Amino acid sequence: MDADVIVVGSGFGGSVCALRAAEAGLRVVVLERGRRMDDAAYEKLADGRLPLINRREQPGLFDIKMQHGLATAGGCAVGGGSHVYTAVTMPAPDEVFANDWPAALTVGRMRELYERAERVLRPTPLAEIPSRTRRMQEIGERMAAPAVVLPLVVEKRGHNDHASPSTLRGHIATWLRGGPGYRKRTLDMSYLAQAERAGTRVLPLHEALSITPIAGGYRVRLRQLVDDDWREGELTARKVVLAAGTMNTVPFLVRCRDIYATLPAISAALGERFYTNGDFGAAVAGFSLDIDRDDGPPVTSWIDCWNTDRLFLMETGAFLGGRVWSIAVMGFDDSPGRLSLDERGRLQHHSAGPSPAFHAARMRRLREFAAAAGGALIAPPAFATRTKPATVHPLGGARMADRAELGVVDANGEMFGYPGLYVADGSILPTPTGVAPSMTIAALAEHVSEHLVSHA
Ligand SMILES: Cc1cc2nc3c(=O)[nH]c(=O)nc-3n(C[C@H](O)[C@H](O)[C@H](O)COP(=O)(O)OP(=O)(O)OC[C@H]3O[C@@H](n4cnc5c(N)ncnc54)[C@H](O)[C@@H]3O)c2cc1C
């Protein structure tokens, strides 16, 4: 075997498993289709020498997927979604775990796992809040809902940190790195850095194509970018952890089951119970509040409507001369969708749309927000919401369950029917999280890793 453990993908799930397996003394290889995004790579991204959008032939940082009935965005880099996320890193509310989660994942167990993830990720609320955060507090008072200063994985920027040029691409690079005055701590500075120090080999620009069981383990077929040329190869290991992110893991497994027939026994539950985490975007135009320009991170706070409506309204900065304020909504919309591949291998999303009660609540809360801010609400029309949901938090589709007929992986993240083959990313979540999900994905990967190393 080339390794004890191959981890496919280096986002929140993959980097946790890589660290814990390497700490246990296992030989770990991480395959990551994206690039290493160090200072030099961000400079190239800012001036156009590296692509912003991921393409099949040329890896780029943002993985945008526009499939039938759904638009999603994610990350493609060493460190996965941590390079594109806005750094909000927090546990899900206790009620999320009340139904549909494996019996072993009690609230107490999840707290223990969150603490483990927190010690490495170190999220903290901003010490100095900008004026937009204070305006959120005023809006919260008018809406009778608390404004929360969010825990972020960022730190104040040092004097020597590189500044991006003031072009559109330069601004995007600055935004991605945590804003003009802050630096985001991406996973390649936390979990993955520790994993590499413990001996993990991270192979960027390596994309896994399929997984096949072999005697004593698995073979991973892959392609590797060498001098602008993709070359095929393979690696073997006793165990494999698939952590390619929901929108990659689910189609990857469907191809292994239905097209290549290398994993024919994967559960019929694959693709079912896919969630968009209630994601919705809107903006408030012409608001009457004074918001000063600031050098803060992309987001700082949200209005917490969890107790009444199971949702949050998050500010994501003002633009167009400070007259339009963009607001992201997320929440516990547990109306499930289904992912599948069509006859040409293209991803399809099937859903009856958001839960009507949840959608009505988020529209009512957005109207209240706009009124409290003294502006006009701009929101997508209802038919678009029903037929073309967009999400940056795709979850589920390869869910964990106590019984094979209900899920794709068991309560330890190991695939039913395939011992030693694990899934550890957003796809295994049995329900949405309501809040931003990265910390729950990391916590679950801590749980999966325990089984991975104890049965090695
Ligand atoms: C704009 C934006 C803002 C966000 N903000 C937040 C936030 O503030 N807080 C929060 O909690 N969440 C946020 N998210 C969501 C968060 O980024 C994801 O929930 C999280 O990254 C998912 O973790 P994961 O481990 O499932 O997969 P990912 O982090 O997506 O990692 C998967 C990795 O696998 C790689 N990969 C895919 N296929 C293969 C293959 N075949 N072979 C090898 N490698 C492969 C990918 O390139 C990627 O690097 C945001 C997302 C976006 C797009």
Q: Is 249 left (phi over 0), alpha (psi -120 to 50) or beta?
A: alpha
Closest CA to 249 of 419, 22, 53, 429: 429
Give the 3-state secondary structure of residue 275: strand
pLDDT (0 to 100) of residue 34: 98
Residue 287 Cα to ligand 1 midpoint, Å, equals 33
Decide the pairing of beta strands 395-396 and 390-391.
unpaired
Best mutation site among 206, 393, 429 for ligand 1, i.e. most ligand atoms within 8 A of its Cβ?
A: 393
Q: What own/partner pairs with CB < 8 Å and gap ≥ 24 does 376-379 have? A: 376/284, 376/285, 376/286, 377/282, 377/283, 377/284, 378/282, 378/283, 378/284, 378/285, 378/324, 379/280, 379/282, 379/283
- Residue length of the chain: 456
Best mutation site among 392, 395, 409, 429 for ligand 1, i.e. most ligand atoms within 8 A of its Cβ?
A: 392
Helix (H) / strand (E) containing 395: strand 395-396
pLDDT (0 to 100) of residue 388: 84
Mean pLDDT of the chain: 95
Proportion of the chain above pLDDT 90, given as a percent? 88
- Determine the Cα–Cα distance for residues 315 and 325; give it in Å rounded to an integer: 7
Domains and CATH numbers, the chain: 3-121+153-276+338-343+391-454 (3.50.50.60), 126-150+279-331+352-388 (3.30.410.40)
* Secondary structure letter of residue 4 according to DSSP: E
Residue 452 has pLDDT above 70, yes or no: yes
- Determine the Cα–Cα distance for residues 399 and 273; give it in Å rounded to an integer: 7
pLDDT (0 to 100) of residue 290: 85
Least confident among 60-64, 110-114, 125-129: 125-129
| CA 222 to chain CA mean position, Å | 23
Residue 26 has pLDDT above 70, yes or no: yes
Residue 85 Cα to ligand 1 midpoint, Å, equals 8
- Of the pLDDT bands very low, low, confident and very high (cuts 50, 70, 90), residue 195 is very high
Residue 160 has pLDDT above 80, yes or no: no
Ligand 1 atom closest to Cα of residue 445: 25
Longest Cα–Cα distance in the chain: 68
- Of the pLDDT bands very low, low, confident and very high (cuts 50, 70, 90), residue 165 is confident
- Which residues, 6 or more positions from 7, have their beta carbon under 8 angstroms from its beta carbon? 14, 17, 18, 21, 28, 29, 30, 31, 240, 241, 243
Ligand 1 atom closest to Cα of residue 209: 41
Least confident among 140-144, 205-209, 381-385: 381-385
- Of the pLDDT bands very low, low, confident and very high (cuts 50, 70, 90), residue 291 is confident
Helix (H) / strand (E) containing 452: helix 438-454
pLDDT (0 to 100) of residue 162: 67
359: which 2 tokens?
């959608």
> Does residue 158 or residue 180 have the better pLDDT?
180
Residue 159 has pLDDT above 70, yes or no: no
CA angle 356, 358, 362 (to 5 degrees): 115
Closest CA to 84 of 53, 110, 62: 62
Residue 105 has pLDDT above 90, yes or no: yes
Closest CA to 191 of 415, 33, 1, 424: 424
- 368-381 per-position pLDDT tens digit: 999 999 999 999 98
Pocket of ligand 1 (CB under 6 A): 8-14, 31-34, 73-77, 80-81, 84-89, 207-208, 243-246, 248, 252, 392-393, 425-426, 436-438, 441
Least confident among 108-122, 240-254, 349-363: 349-363
Ligand 1 atom closest to Cα of residue 394: 19
- 377-425 per-position pLDDT tens digit: 999 988 888 788 999 999 999 999 999 999 999 999 999 999 999 999 9
Residue 321 Cα to ligand 1 midpoint, Å, equals 31
